[in-house]
Amino acid sequence: MKNEDDKIIIPLSKRKIILLTIVAFIFTAAPLWILIDTDSEQIKLAMIVGVLFFGICGIYALVKLFDKNPGLIITPDGLIDNASGLIKWEDITELEILNMQYNIRFLLIFVKNPEFYLNKMSVPKKIFAQLNYKKYGTPLSISSLALQCNFDKLVEIINSYTPSSLNAGWEHR
């Protein structure tokens, strides 16, 4: 992490991205193997979905491995992330921590105009963001899975930059 002119730059973690790539490709290979060895149409459909989902995740992680852009920049104006660009503090209505299985956590970022941020995204990023929007009510989320920072430190840093109206709004799901 670098602190430049009142902003924090959090780089991508190449080590974490390599691990994510390996896991994604393992989870692509396992359903593929099951797909070849089953006669059940329902299982075949589930395995095809698994192969597609984890295959796309693996390819995305592989691309991120060569990405030289910072993973996240936190500024007095807002958050700058690769998928959605600048998310201005004034647009953010709520920040919420989503706890998933295996101690994986995401920061959900609720904004006044989600469609504005969706329209700025590339097609692959937009697909996942739309799924987030349908399930959680916001297309914007941040995880520390690929950052050179753990989640608690990420929340601490973001909390130090958020306007006081948002500091009290941290909720957990």
Q: Give Cα separations from 18 to 13, 25, 171, 172 (angstroms).
A: 9, 11, 31, 29
Domain boundaries, the chain: 9-65, 77-172
Name the band, by pLDDT with cuts 50, 70 and 90, for residue 21. very high
The answer to whether residues 146 and 17 touch, using CB atoms and an 8 Å cutoff, is yes
- Rounded percentage of the chain residues whose pLDDT exceeds 70: 92
Amino acid at 132: N
Predicted confidence (pLDDT) per residue in 6-20, tens digit = 889 999 999 999 998
Predicted confidence (pLDDT) per residue in 122-169, tens digit = 887 888 899 999 999 999 999 888 899 999 999 888 888 887 666 545
Report the C-alpha gap between 119 and 124 in whole angstroms. Answer: 12
pTM beyond 0.85, yes or no:
no
Mean pLDDT computed over every residue of the chain:
86
Predicted confidence (pLDDT) per residue in 54-69, tens digit = 888 888 888 888 989 8
Report the C-alpha gap between 32 and 45 in whole angstroms. Answer: 11
- What pLDDT, on a 0 to 100 scale, did the predictor assign at position 87? 94
